[in-house]
Amino acid sequence: MFELKRISVMNWNLLDLEDIEIDGITAIIGMMGSGKSTLLDAIQTVKTGNQVSKLSLNRAASSIKSTRSVKEYCLGVTEDTIRLGVTRDACHSMLVLSYRDDKLNAECAVGITMFADKDEPREHTTCRFIAEGTMFSFEEFADREADGTLVVDSPEIILERVREKSGRGYSVHNNSAKGFIENYLRAMRPKGATPNADDYIRRFRNAIAFQEIKDPTDFVRTFVLDEDPIQTDRLRSNLQTWDEISDSLETLKKKIGDARSLRAAYASEAESIFTTQENAYQAAWSKAQISEIKSEEARGKARQADVDLADLSQERSRVDQKIEREEAAREAKREQHMASSYTQSQAVAEARIASQEKDVKISAGKLKGILEQGASLRNIDDLKRFLPASAGCMKIAAERLEQIRREFTGSGTLPVDTAEISKLITTVSDTERVVASLNAQYEDMVVEQRKTEDQRSEKLRQLRSREQGGKGMDQQVQDFIEYLVEEGIVAEALPMMVEVTPGMEDWVRALETRLGAFKQAVYVDPKNFDQAYQILRNRKQATGRGYEREHRNWKVRLINTQKLARGKGLRNAASNAIVSILETDNDLIRKFLDSQFGGTVMVDTLAELKQQSDAIMKDGSQSQGFSVRVNRMGSPILGRVAQESLMYELQTQVQDLTSQIERRKTDIQRLKSGASIFHSVGQLDPGAAGAFIGEIEEGIKTLKNLENERDAELSDDERELIADIKTHGANINQLKIYRDGDLEDRKNKLIREQARASEKVREEDSARARHQAECDNLAEVDKGPENMRWRNALYHMDHPARGRSIAALTARLGQISRQDEAWHIDNIERLRKEKREELDANSEAAGRRARRMRGIATYLSEYGEDIELAKKSAPDILNWLVSHVLHMEDNELLKYQTQIEEFRKITRREVREVFMTKLNDNLKIALSEMRKLNKRIRRHKFEGMTYVFDWKIDPTMKPLYQMAKRVSDEADKAGTLLMEGGDEVLNEAVEIIREIFKSEEGAAKFEDYRQYFEFELVMTRDEVTDADIDNQGVDGLKTDIAVTGNLTDRIGKGSGGQKQTPYYVAIAASMAAAYYPNARPGESMGMGLVCFDEAFNKLDIRSTQELIRLYRDLDLQILIAAPEEKRTSFMEVADTIVTISKAPGAPELFIDVERIGEKTKDELRKANPEHVGIAGFRQNVLSGYIGQMAPNNASTEPAE
Model confidence at 1190: pLDDT above 60:
no
User: Which of 3, 16, 167 is CA-nearest to residue 91?
Assistant: 16
Rounded alpha-carbon distances, angstroms, from residue 235 to 129, 231, 238, 243, 333:
41, 8, 5, 12, 142
| 627: enclosing H helix or E strand | strand 627-630
Which DSSP symbol is given to 892? I
Would you give the distance in Å from CA 198 to the centre of its chain?
A: 52
Q: Could you read off the pLDDT of 839-851 as tens digits, one per residue?
A: 444 445 545 665 7
Structural contact between residues 196 and 1074, judged by C-beta atoms closer than 8 angstroms: yes
Q: Report d(CA 486, CA 931) in Å as an integer.
A: 98
Contact 383, 670 (CB under 8 A): yes
Which residues have C-beta within 8 Å of that of residue 734, sequence separation ≥ 6? 410, 411
> Residues 1116, 1088: contact at Cβ < 8 Å?
yes
180 with 45: CB under 8 angstroms? no
The residues that bridge with 1138 in the sheet, in sequence order, are 28, 1153
Q: What is the largest CA-CA distance in the chain?
A: 219
Query: Using CA of residue 688, residue 690, residue 692, residue 698, what is the dihedral sign?
Result: negative
Cα–Cα distance between 599 and 507 in angstroms, integer? 16
CB 515 within 8 A of CB 597: yes
Q: Are 75 and 91 in contact (CB under 8 A)?
A: yes
Output phi, psi for 337, to 5 deg: -65, -40
143 residue type, one letter: D
SS3 232: coil
What pLDDT score does 545 carry?
44
* Lowest mean pLDDT, pick from 62-71, 869-878, 1129-1138: 62-71
Coil, strand or helix at 385: helix
Helical segments of 388-521, H only: 391-411, 419-428, 432-467, 475-486, 508-515
* CA angle, 1154 then 1157 then 1159, to 5°: 140
Q: In whole angstroms, how far apart are CA 546 and each of 532, 543, 554, 555, 556?
A: 21, 8, 16, 18, 19
Find the mean pLDDT for residues 248-270: 88
Amino acid in position 399: E
Q: How many CB atoms lie within 10 A of CB 564?
A: 22
Lowest mean pLDDT among 514-528, 1009-1023, 1049-1063: 1049-1063
pLDDT at 986 over 60: yes
Question: What is the residue-averaged pLDDT of the chain?
Answer: 81
Residue 1087 is classified by DSSP as: B
Residue type at position 1059: K
Q: How are strands ordered across the β-sheet holding 124-132?
A: 15-21, 3-12, 90-101, 106-117, 124-132, 170-172
Q: What is the DSSP string of 469-500?
A: T-----HHHHHHHHHHHHTT--EEEGGGT-EE
Q: Following DSSP, what letter does each residue of 826-855 receive, concatenated?
A: HHHHHHHHHHHHHHHTHHHHHHHHHHHHHH
Name the nearest CA neighbour of 1139 among 16, 3, 38.
Answer: 38
Closest CA to 35 of 1141, 1094, 1143: 1141
Q: What pLDDT does residue 544 have?
A: 45
The predicted-structure confidence for 927-963, as pLDDT tens digits, reads as follows 888 888 888 788 788 778 888 888 888 887 887 777 7
Q: What is the reported pLDDT for 1056?
A: 59
Q: Higher-confidence residue: 974 or 181?
A: 181
Helices (H), 1081-1192: 1101-1113, 1127-1131, 1158-1167, 1169-1183
Q: Write out pLDDT tens, residues 261-301.
A: 889 988 888 888 888 888 888 888 888 888 888 888 889 99
pLDDT tops 60 at residue 467: no
The pLDDT-based confidence of 117 (bands split at 50, 70, 90) is: very high
- Residue 380: pLDDT over 90: no
Which residues does residue 1033 pair with via DSSP β-bridges, in sequence order?
A: 1036
181, pLDDT greater than 60? yes
List of E strands, 160-277: 170-172
- According to DSSP, residue 387 is labeled S
How far apart are alpha carbons 666 and 668 in whole angstroms? Answer: 5
Are the C-beta atoms of residues 556 and 522 closer than 8 Å to each other?
yes
Helix (H) or strand (E) holding 262: helix 233-339
Rg of the chain (C-alpha set) = 64
What is the Cα–Cα distance from 909 to 994, expressed in whole angstroms? 15
Is 70 exceeded by the pLDDT of residue 972? no
- What pLDDT is recorded for position 850? 59
CA distance 578 to 507: 8
How much is the average pLDDT of 473-484?
A: 78
**Bridge partners of residue 112, in order along the sequence:** 95, 128
Could you give the CA distance from residue 1074 to residue 1071 in angstroms, rounded to a whole number? 5
Q: Which residues neighbour 197 within 8 Å (Cβ) at sequence distance 6 or greater?
A: 178, 181, 182, 185
Nearest-angstrom CA–CA distance, 724 and 335: 12
What domains, with CATH codes, occur in the chain? 3-227+1057-1077+1088-1156 (3.40.50.300), 473-636 (no CATH), 901-1056 (no CATH), 1157-1200 (no CATH)
Instruction: Identify whether the C-beta of residue 174 lies closer than 8 Å to the C-beta of residue 125.
Output: yes
pLDDT for residue 531 is more than 60: yes
Strands 522-524 and 601-602, bridge-based pairing: unpaired
Give the pLDDT score at 366: 83
Q: Is residue 99 very low, low, confident or very high in pLDDT (cuts 50, 70, 90)?
A: very high
3-state secondary structure of 938: coil
Strands 1043-1046 and 1013-1020: antiparallel
Q: How much helix, strand and coil, in percent to the nearest 5, is found in the chain?
A: 65, 10, 25
553-558 average pLDDT score: 77
Q: Residues 988, 990, 995, 1001: what is their CA dihedral angle, to the nearest 10 degrees?
A: 120
pLDDT on residue 889: 86
pLDDT at 119 (0 to 100): 93
Single out the residue of 172, 203, 201 nearest to residue 185, CA to CA: 201
Q: How far apart are CA 522 and CA 881, in angstroms?
A: 37
Beta partners for residue 28, in sequence order: 1121, 1138
Per-residue pLDDT band at 786 (split at 50, 70, 90): confident
Which amino acid belongs to residue 434? V
DSSP-assigned letter for residue 1040: -
Q: CA nearest 254: which of 869, 891, 862, 799?
A: 862
Report phi then psi at 390, rounded to 5: -65, -20
Bridge partners of residue 1121, in order along the sequence: 28, 1093
DSSP β-bridge partners for residue 941: 946
Percent of the chain with pLDDT over 70: 86
Tens of pLDDT, residue by residue over 1044-1083, are: 888 888 776 656 566 677 778 878 887 888 888 877 666 6
Q: What is the pLDDT of residue 614?
A: 92
pLDDT, residue 845, reads: 55
pLDDT at 1196: 44
- Using pLDDT thresholds of 50, 70 and 90, give the confidence band for residue 1187: low
On the question of pLDDT at 224 being above 80, the answer is no
Give the type of residue at 744.
E
pLDDT of residue 848: 64
On whether the CB atoms of residues 451 and 638 are closer than 8 A, the answer is no
Of 320-324, 632-636, 728-732, 1134-1138, where does mean pLDDT reach its minimum?
632-636
Rounded CA gap, 398 and 407, in Å?
Answer: 14
The residue type of 1020 is T
In the 8-state DSSP scheme, what is residue 1198?
-
> Shortest CA distance to 505 belongs to which of 853, 858, 267, 849?
849
DSSP string spanning 715-767? -HHHHHHHHHHHHHHHHHHHHHHIIIIIIHHHHHHHHHHHHHHHHHHHHHHHH
Q: Is 570 helix (H, G, I), strand (E, B) or coil?
A: coil
